[in-house]
Chain A
Amino acid sequence: MRQLIIDKLKRLYWVWIFLFLLGLISGCFVPLHQDNPIEQPSALRFIWFAGVGGWLAELGSGYGRVLLTLPLTVRQMGRFLWFVAVGMPAMVIALGLGLGLLLQSHDQTSMVNLLVLWLKAALVIWLFFGTCFWLFSGTPSTEPNAKTTNGKIHLSYPVVFVIASICFGYWLYNAHIGYEAKYLILCLTLAAFTLLGWFRAEELLVDYGGYRQIASSPTRRGTNLTLSSKFGGIRFLATHLLKKQLLRILFGFTAIFAVMALLYLKRGWQEFSISCWLMTWSFGGLIFVFSIQDLALLVLHVKYLRTLPMTARQMAALFLLGRVNTNA
């Protein structure tokens, strides 16, 4: 496993340098005088979204298959996958953050307070990364080529959701709980999801490693040879894209507004802190990443798409807007 980690470090050195610098800059500007100083560095969690799409695409592109042929157990490789996607980025950011905190502290803050603050921020970032990993890894056996079924994992989902719902509900309906309690609830909720991601890593690797092009996969063998009589061609492709993206956006924004409405009903607008807005934006970011994942899949098949009777401009419009002006 050491070789895999060293390979990842060397191959993607610029990513680790970037993460370290982000942590460092964030650490230099942490508002140490505020009650909840970890709010700002915790925002770094959102950068994880940017990298995960590429990481999972790398796994599905055949890198996962290469990993599975190496003389390591699937469990070892699953742990490696989780470590480089969650543990390593969190550690690198935490290192930068720690250095940044030291640089800006002078002698106004005691070292113990600084250490506690650093540990808290690092923990939140780590748990957020763990949660994001789980979010992106999907639920078991929902991928088109999923090759794994594990009863324990299926069972763990409702359990974790119950824990998370209780924590979130408690946080939502207790306006006057203190900052420390909020932190604890947040960590508990995220830890539950992080644990799910940890359990999922091994299966995820097998799913992605075993991924084959849809056309060559036996799971895609059509048994029902009826064809839809509805319209096809570019109109189908455009509405198909638009429909999926619209549904995701609709779902995401409904969730955001539901949370905001609940907060408003309970506490009023004055309670909308920076973290609330950050949360809203992060949901938006998540939806965006999900949307472009769809587009990325289409781009992978651009070679075929270029054989379709449409101009490059029409295709670009299709990718960006989800619709085509056929008069163009």
Chain B
Amino acid sequence: MNTNAIEIRGLVKNYPNFTLGPVDLTVPRGAIYGLIGPNGAGKTTAIDLIFSMGRNDAGTIRILGLDHRADEVALKQRAAYVSPELNFQVWGNIGKAIRFVRGFYPTWNDAYCLSLMKAFHLDPDEKIVTLSFGAKTKLSLLLALSREPEVLILDEPTTGLDAISKQQVFAELLKAVEDGHRTVLVSSHGLTDIERFADHVGMIKQGKLLFEGRMDEVVDRFRLAEFFSVNGTTFATRPGLTILKHTENRWRALLDQTTDAQSWLQAQGARDISLTKLTLEDLFVALAKEDEEI
């Protein structure tokens, strides 16, 4: 049996001013994978392509071993998609939207749906047009969770949610994945939430996947390095070393511990190298700002 729930290989999508990929992304079964990246990095584009919202120019996408084009129906039976951009307004009220979606899924769980409605404070007679942005996202999540999918793909699920709602949503998500059989791929800008909630993480920037892996391994892999140069030696960004800032002879850089960057620095004459552990947010900011003027 394939141990990966989501396998994306060589995924490419070209736009006039942007190219996604080639992207290789792997989400193991039962994992909660956080996909992070700056605005316009290609996170939503990559997720959209899984559900045929657009056509990829190259590459393959497999969910639970199913090809996203050849096994489209089976894939959509077993994977659910949540996004604030889904609009159920045409059905008028919440009850009607539920009735419509329920008809497509034999695995639909009415009791679970009712408990989620209660938890999210959603009323079946409530008009969708009058719902707040956050409530619409909750409805989208309710419709996805009630069908008990094996893979849950969430695109910015916490956008527009207040702190309490965010807590409710994450509590329900954690409950949904606690048996370990369900896989979650979540793209979000809420890095604290991702760090707390996800066990795997991947970062996309300018259409390319910069890194992916277990959360603890990824966070442990990078360090913030501070060091001094002597005799006017200068350092430039190289594989494993990203120069973030320098003032006179004092330097600050992002260091990948899996490379020989540290020994290279020492060989180049860097003095007093101190390494500090990073949070996911620090890492994100450092990598996202990498190309900006320092």
Contact = CB atoms under 8 A, between A and B. Distances in A.
Q: Do A and B come from one complex?
A: yes
B77 interface: yes
A74 interface: yes
A222 B54 CA distance: 21
Contact of A218 (B40, B55, B76, B103): B40
A8 B216 CA distance: 49
A286 to B, nearest CB: 25
B76 A65 contact: no
Interface stretch (B28-36, B45-53, B224-232, B248-256): B45-53
A57 to B, nearest CB: 11
Contact of B76 (A71, A206, A212, A213): A71
A148 to B, nearest CB: 5
A264 to B, nearest CB: 44
B153 to A, nearest CB: 9
A210 B53 contact: yes
Given A66-B86, A219-B18, A221-B18, A209 B53 contact: yes
Contacts of A216: 39-40, 44
Chain A interface, >50% SS class: helix
Nearest to B144: A69
B129 to A, nearest CB: 11
A220 B15 CA distance: 9
A148 B80 CA distance: 23
A216 B45 CA distance: 10
Interface string B171-215: 000000000000000000000000000000000000100000000
B158 interface: no
A70 B48 contact: no
A7 B90 CA distance: 11
Contact of B73 (A73, A213, A220): A73
Contacts of B45: 218
Interface string A134-156: 00000000000001110000000
A63 interface: yes
B15 to A, nearest CB: 4
A58 B90 contact: yes
Contacts of B104: 3, 70-72
Nearest to B48: A210
Interface string A200-244: 000000100110110010111111000000000000000000000
Interface in B44-93: 44-45, 48, 51-55, 72-74, 76-77, 80-81, 83, 85-92
Interface string A256-272: 00000000000000000
A68 B53 contact: yes
Given A71-B104, A74-B72, A206-B55, A219 B15 contact: yes
Contacts of B44: 212, 216
Contacts of B88: 62, 66
Interface in A5-39: 7, 11
Contacts of B264: none
B53 A223 contact: no
B52 A221 contact: no
B89 A61 contact: yes
A68 B52 contact: yes
Contacts of A62: 85-89
Interface string A50-83: 0000000010011101101111111000000000
27 contacts: A3-B103, A3-B104, A7-B100, A11-B90, A11-B91, A61-B89, A62-B86, A62-B89, A66-B87, A69-B81, A69-B86, A70-B76, A71-B76, A71-B105, A72-B76, A74-B52, A147-B54, A148-B54, A206-B52, A210-B53, A210-B54, A213-B85, A216-B39, A216-B40, A218-B17, A221-B18, A221-B40
Interface of B: 13, 15-18, 20, 39-40, 42, 44-45, 48, 51-55, 72-74, 76-77, 80-81, 83, 85-92, 100-101, 103-105, 207
Interface of A: 3, 7, 11, 58, 61-63, 65-66, 68-74, 147-149, 206, 209-210, 212-213, 216, 218-223
Closest 7 CB pairs of A and B: A62-B87, A147-B54, A210-B53, A71-B76, A210-B54, A218-B18, A219-B15
Given A149-B55, A218-B42, A218-B45, 13 more contacts: A63-B90, A65-B87, A69-B76, A70-B101, A71-B105, A147-B53, A147-B55, A148-B54, A148-B55, A210-B53, A216-B40, A218-B20, A223-B17
